[in-house]
Structure formats: structure tokens, C-alpha cells
Structure 1
Amino acid sequence: MQTKGKLLVLVGPTAVGKTNLSLHLAEKFNGEILSGDSMQVYRGMDVGTAKASQKEQQQVRHHLLDLVNPDESFSVEEFQKHAYEAIAAIHARSHLPMLVGGTGLYIQAVTHGYRLPNIEEDVALRAKWNDFAEKEGNEALWRKLQEQDEVTAMRLHPNDRRRVIRALEVIANTGKPFSAQQVQQKPPYDILFLGLTMPRELLYKRINERVDHMIAAGLLQEVRALYAQGYGRELTSMQALGYKEIMQHLAGEISLDEAIERIKRGTRKFAKRQLSWFRRMDEIHWFDCTASDFQQEITSLIAGDFLAHRE
């Protein structure tokens, strides 16, 4: 019988404190961190994605960061492949792989082994939906998907135009909801799911403070540099929270204050969607970060019920 490798998964909404806890746990349990964030795969997008700093990456080995340039396409399937390869390498070093992030689809692609439908690209249909989004906006496009497949729509950010169009493309070519075509073949891992949460008012306050910190840390300069390198607003990467709004500001469409307010508002809505996604996963052990002993409880769970019992 094949021995199952351990995999620790740490999820939760943005700004809840996943990074700090993951660094602590990685040092305590000889772990290596895999980013479970769909935007941290892009090079040069550091401040706005809250990517681990160089100091943090030196402190603990990180994976699945800086895989492609902002103008390169990157799929869930590619992320899954990179993740499985990294996990195998971490197991070979007898270390603990820790998948940490807030992109639910990417997390579950790894933990639940999704096999996505192999439908060829429909150029005409993609052009049609792109034109629709240009005229009516990404939210209107997302609502078209919501009408046909609410499950998939709830998994995707309205600004993730490429994946929204892909889902509509699959539906049009198969006549079935995209969500109904995701075959699961669970990987051979023994997985412990941990989820972080806190009262919503406090989370929203932390989100607002994080956005202010990103501006102070150079988000404006980062986006300006990306634009100067030829990365335009039409790219999926530049539709990410923070980047889209700063691009609008640089184009003279909105003030910096308005851009910041839109980022804060959009991030709060995004955190709400993240929580909705993860709340549907029954495997997750939830911990309130405001509890004084939450780190001790997590440490005990990992050391006792998880790592102590090996196949």
C-alpha cells in the first residue's frame, strides 16, 4: 500500500493573517510554503498581491511564486501540475508541504484533484464575449455566467474575464454547466485543512489598513512600472484587485483617493466571496484569530492528530 504524503492546507480571506501564521508553522514543523494565490504566479506583481517578501522567502522556502510574466496565460491545470511537482519534491526532502492562500479554485484543484473539461478554444465565441465585456463591463459578463452556472460564477471574480469566458465557452460547446464537468480524482495526500477567520468588522478594518500599507509600500510605482513595460489594462493579470484601479487612475479616469477607495471596497467584497467559498468545504477546521489560544490549538492539532499518525 502506497504511503500517503502529508499536506497542510491553510485558507481564509485576505488580510486575516495567513502569512504570519504560515511562517510560524513552517519553522516549527519543518515546512515549505506553496502559494495558493492565482495572482502571485505573476512576476513583478509583488506589492498588490501581498506576495511574501524576500526576507520571508529566505526565512522559509516558498513555491508557486513568479511562474509567468503578466502577459502570459496561466491556467488552473498548469497551477495544479506545478503544485503536484512541488509537493513531491518537498516530500522527497522529508519536509511538510503547506498550501497557503485564498484562491478557492486553485486550492481545490490541488486538494480535490479536479480534471477540467478538454474543450478546444472557440475563437469566434471568445471574441463575441470579449466585445460584450468591453461594451457592457465585466460585471455584466459575469452575470451572464451566473444565469447559466451559478456555482462556477461564485468561484470566479467578476474581473477574471478570461476564466469567465472560458466557462461560458465550455457551457456553449457542451450544453452542460462548467461546474458539472469537473471530475474529481483525489490525490494521494493525507490533508489537514485549517481555516482562519475573525469578526467581519475587524477583518474589514484590517483590509483597509492593508490597502493603505500597499499604497505606502509603492503599489502606484509598481503598476506604473508594469505599464511602462507594456503590460496593458486588457490583460487578465491587470484586472486584479489593486492593479485595475491604479491603472484607471494612471489613465486619468479617477483620482488616487477614488482608486484607493475602490480597492478597499472591492477587497472587502472579495473577502466575503472567499469566506462563502471556503464555508462550503466541510473538511476545514476553523479558528478565530482573535482567540488568545488559537495558535496553540492549531499547533496541538498538527502535532497530535495530524503528524503523529503516519501511514
Structure 2
Amino acid sequence: MPTSRLTVPVLLGPTGVGKSEAAFRIARELEAEIIVCDSRQVYDQLDIATNKPSQENLRRVHHHLVGMADPRGVFSVKDFVQLAGATIAEVAGRGPLPIVEGGSMLWADALTDGFSLSGVPPDPALRRRLEGMPLEKLDALLRRLDPEANVDLRNPVRLIRAIEVLEAVGPPLARTRTRTPPVWRPLRIGLTASLATIDARLAERSRRQLERGLVQETRAALKAGVAPQAPVLTGIGYAQAVAHLQGDLPEAELEPAMNLANRRYARRQLRWLRRDSRIRWFMAESDPVPGILAYLRETLI
């Protein structure tokens, strides 16, 4: 099918709600391929707290943009939009249906609505000054420059870039986003659940990540040259493991800190998603896949 006539399902939802497994089952049923929209899963080597699909699922369904970037570097939202767009066109050109699945809301918006901050060049001096600041001070500085700025508050790279753009061109940050929508049509599908259900799933996931060796995996990454401030290590789980390894977070506080960060992040994601009236929502407590498949079959005909 020509890309200009293509409708692409985009499965969204807060962390821990079950998007990856739902996308896998949908792809199996429709003989589709999955384009993963996740700012941490894109990096190689670190698997546990990035919540990458299992090796079995990767074997049974073709997943794109998983583990293909060097964790010592930065894979930007601009890089993602360019590569994901090319991948969607390539998959559709071969025949399978591409399905976008992910929890990185900024990346999903960039892909489905289109925007670019590439017109503002880097400011090395400003970056050096900001890189030593804790997240709380970066957030406070961003809010002084633009109280309405919508940025991932747990990611220092994005906070610094937003401050860099605002210092260069002034507020509002939204004005710097030149929208270039894709030629294909996104069909936004949301998974949600009660906060109690999400919190319970996230707590269980944190426990399993620690049992699987999260701290050991983080230690190995640091020894391999991945900087503590690298984007992949600022994600929930790795950030707390780094703090523990640096002596700033006792072992007994590691799991509770992960749970708290996950709960806060899930709520921010839900607030972000609920402002988008284009999303068709499905509840995750009961099996959402049959309903989503019926919706897709009706819509994609």
C-alpha cells in the first residue's frame, strides 16, 4: 500500500499498563510488525529496566528500533522520527501492517503530529553549565523561562535542550515546534487501567527487575563506559541503581524509590494522554485485545 494511503495503529498508554504484550498479540493476529516508540528500549545492552520485549516475543514478531543505538551516546527524538518514518514506509512497502507501540509520549507525539527543534544550534558553554545541575534545579529554571513548557521532567538531556532553545529564541517552547505531520494516518489507541491496578503492576515489575539483576546490569554498564548521565541510565530503575552504586541510596530504599518514581511517571503520562481527544480508549483490567482487534478490523477495512 502506498504510504500516503496507509493507516497506522499507534498503541499508547502509561508505563506498566501492558502495551507491549497487547501489541505482540495484535501483531500475531494481524501478521503485523511492531515499531517500538521507546526512548530507552532503543539502546543496546541494557535490557532489564528498559522493559524490552522477551527474546521469545522478539523471535515470533518482528520488532523494529529495539537495542540498535549505542548506550554511550544520545539517540534523539529527531533521530527516532526519521528512522521510524523510514521503517514504517519499508514495512508497509513489503506488505505487513506496521504498528507503533510505545510509552515515550514526546516521541509518539513527534512521530504522529510532527515537530522539529533542529533550527536552534547547540550552545556548548550553556550545556557545560547546566550539566552539573540536579533535576530539581533544571526544572525550576525551565519553569522560570516558560511555565507552560511540556518536557519530560525526569530526563536531564531534554530539560537542558528545552532551556537551550528558550535561551536562544524565548518562550513559548511550543512556538519552536514546526509541525510536519507524516504522510500516513495515525490511528491512536489507548490502554488504561485504574491507578491501583497500574501501581500494583509497577511494584511487581520493580521487584522482578531487581531479582533479575538490575544493579549488576547497571554496574556493568558503568564499567563499560556508559556515563551516569547518559539518557539510558536516567530512566527509572537505572537512575535509582546508579544512585545506589554511588552511595546515595541505601539498598533498602532502592525498590521503594523505583516504585515512587514509576507511580509519578505513570500519572504524568496519563495527564499527557488524556488531553488528546483522538485516542480511542480500552481498559486493560479485562482483556483489551479482542476489542482492539474488532476496532482495527472495522477501521482498517
Question: What is the TM-score of this pair, normalised by structure 1?
Answer: 0.92
> Displacement of 1:95 after TM fit?
0.8
Once residues 165 and 95 of structure 1 are traced to their aligned partners in structure 2, the CA distance between those partners, rounded to angstroms, is 39
The secondary structure found in structure 2 opposite 1:114 is coil
Deviations 1:117-149 (A, max 9, x none): 411111121122224x1xxx2122112212323
> Displacement of 1:34 after TM fit?
0.9
> Displacement of 1:176 after TM fit?
2.9
Contact 2:41 2:67 in 1 (8 A): yes
Structure 2 residue 146 is matched with structure 1 residue 149:
yes
Contact 2:151 2:158 in 1 (8 A): no
Contact 1:117 1:181 in 2 (8 A): no
Structure 1 vs Structure 2 CA RMSD? 1.6
The secondary structure found in structure 2 opposite 1:183 is coil
Amino acid of the structure 1 residue aligned with 2:60: Q
Once residues 274 and 145 of structure 1 are traced to their aligned partners in structure 2, the CA distance between those partners, rounded to angstroms, is 19
Question: Which residue of 204, 219, 227 maps to 2:222?
Answer: 227
> Displacement of 1:2 after TM fit?
7.6
Number of the residue aligned with 1:295: 289
In structure 2, runs of 5+ residues without a counterpart are: none
Number of the residue aligned with 2:188: 193
> Displacement of 1:219 after TM fit?
1.2
Relative to structure 1, is the Cα distance of residues 193 and 99 closer, same or farther in structure 2, using a 3 angstrom cutoff? same
The secondary structure found in structure 2 opposite 1:7 is strand
Number of the residue aligned with 2:58: 57
Deviations 1:214-235 (A, max 9, x none): 1112212211211121223132
Number of the residue aligned with 1:66: 67
Identity %: 31
> Displacement of 1:3 after TM fit?
4.2
Number of the residue aligned with 2:300: 307
Once residues 23 and 116 of structure 1 are traced to their aligned partners in structure 2, the CA distance between those partners, rounded to angstroms, is 32
Once residues 118 and 244 of structure 2 are traced to their aligned partners in structure 1, the CA distance between those partners, rounded to angstroms, is 38
Structure 2 residue 207 is matched with structure 1 residue 212:
yes
Amino acid of the structure 1 residue aligned with 2:220: A
Structure 2 residue 168 is matched with structure 1 residue 173:
yes
Contact 1:8 1:193 in 2 (8 A): yes
Q: Which runs of 4+ in 1 moved over 6 A?
A: none
Number of the residue aligned with 1:91: 92
Number of the residue aligned with 2:10: 9
Structure 2 residue 250 is matched with structure 1 residue 255:
yes
Deviations 1:229-272 (A, max 9, x none): 12231323222111111112122322222111111100110001
> Displacement of 1:195 after TM fit?
0.4
Question: Which residue of 144, 150, 157 maps to 1:162?
Answer: 157
Once residues 147 and 97 of structure 1 are traced to their aligned partners in structure 2, the CA distance between those partners, rounded to angstroms, is 41
Once residues 219 and 136 of structure 2 are traced to their aligned partners in structure 1, the CA distance between those partners, rounded to angstroms, is 25
How many positions carry a matched residue from both structures?
300
Question: What is the TM-score of this pair, normalised by structure 2?
Answer: 0.95
Once residues 289 and 122 of structure 2 are traced to their aligned partners in structure 1, the CA distance between those partners, rounded to angstroms, is 46
Once residues 34 and 3 of structure 1 are traced to their aligned partners in structure 2, the CA distance between those partners, rounded to angstroms, is 18
Once residues 130 and 4 of structure 2 are traced to their aligned partners in structure 1, the CA distance between those partners, rounded to angstroms, is 46
Once residues 248 and 3 of structure 2 are traced to their aligned partners in structure 1, the CA distance between those partners, rounded to angstroms, is 58
Number of the residue aligned with 2:262: 267
Contact 2:46 2:217 in 1 (8 A): yes
Amino acid of the structure 1 residue aligned with 2:124: V
Contact 1:36 1:99 in 2 (8 A): yes
